[in-house]
Amino acid sequence: MLENSPTSSHRRRRRVCNGGGLELTLCCDFVLTTPDARWGMPEIDMGITPGWGGCTRMQRFAGRRRTREINLLGYEFSGRQAEEWNLANRVVEREDLEAEVQALTELMLSKSRYAIRRSKHVLHHAADGVLSQAAAFELPIDPPPGRPTRTEASTGSTPSPRKGRG
């Protein structure tokens, strides 16, 4: 799933972000929208229910009451409202959208892939747990390439070569 991808994902919404498109947006790390983009979940008017997180995942961003309003009423809203309701990171004027997306992409590409992968793992898996348990996700399970583990760094030791099996 997009949400579990080790790389960063972003989505831009110029005009319409409805139904499945909105549900995919909920999986992205960064969402940029224009002020007049139309957002919504029209499934109720078609006699169907959302199938990709419009009822479940949306609650984590917009809250239960707002998610009910959006889904049960088929409520359509603007890009500005999407930002206010935590469904978008920021609103960008239509003429500036491509430049903003390019700048964001370049900034993300300048970051450590390892750190992005680890941070995404922690952010995704620790979000719903008890804080004491969730903090364990921040402990590295593998060191970045060329760096010792925390234990090796604190003791000054180096990893011993693996011995043949016997």
Q: Are residues 60 and 138 in the same domain?
A: no
Question: Which structural domain, as residue segments, surrounds residue 6?
Answer: 2-109
Question: Does some domain include residue 164?
Answer: no
Q: Are residues 45 and 94 in the same domain?
A: yes
Q: Does 32 score more than 70 pLDDT?
A: yes
**Annotated catalytic, 23?**
yes
pTM of the model: 0.72
Q: What is the mean pLDDT of residues 80-99?
A: 95
Q: Does 135 score more than 50 pLDDT?
A: yes
**Annotated catalytic, 43?**
yes
Q: Are residues 31 and 105 in the same domain?
A: yes
Q: Are residues 61 and 140 in the same domain?
A: no
Q: Are residues 71 and 92 in the same domain?
A: yes
Q: What is the mean pLDDT of residues 133-157?
A: 63
From 3, 23, 84, 106, active-site residue: 23
Written as one letter, the residue type at 62 is A
Binning pLDDT at 50, 70 and 90, where does residue 149 land? low
Task: Write down the pLDDT at residue 125.
Answer: 77
Binning pLDDT at 50, 70 and 90, where does residue 157 land? low
Binning pLDDT at 50, 70 and 90, where does residue 166 land? very low
Q: Are residues 52 and 21 in the same domain?
A: yes
From 43, 76, 100, 106, active-site residue: 43
Task: Write down the pLDDT at residue 82.
Answer: 96
Q: Does 29 score more than 60 pLDDT?
A: yes
Long-range contacts of 51-57 (CB under 8 A, 24+ apart): 51/20, 51/23, 52/20, 52/23, 52/24, 53/23, 53/26, 53/27, 54/19, 54/22, 54/23, 54/26, 57/23, 57/26, 57/27
Q: What is the mean pLDDT of residues 29-51?
A: 92
Task: Write down the pLDDT at residue 164.
Answer: 46
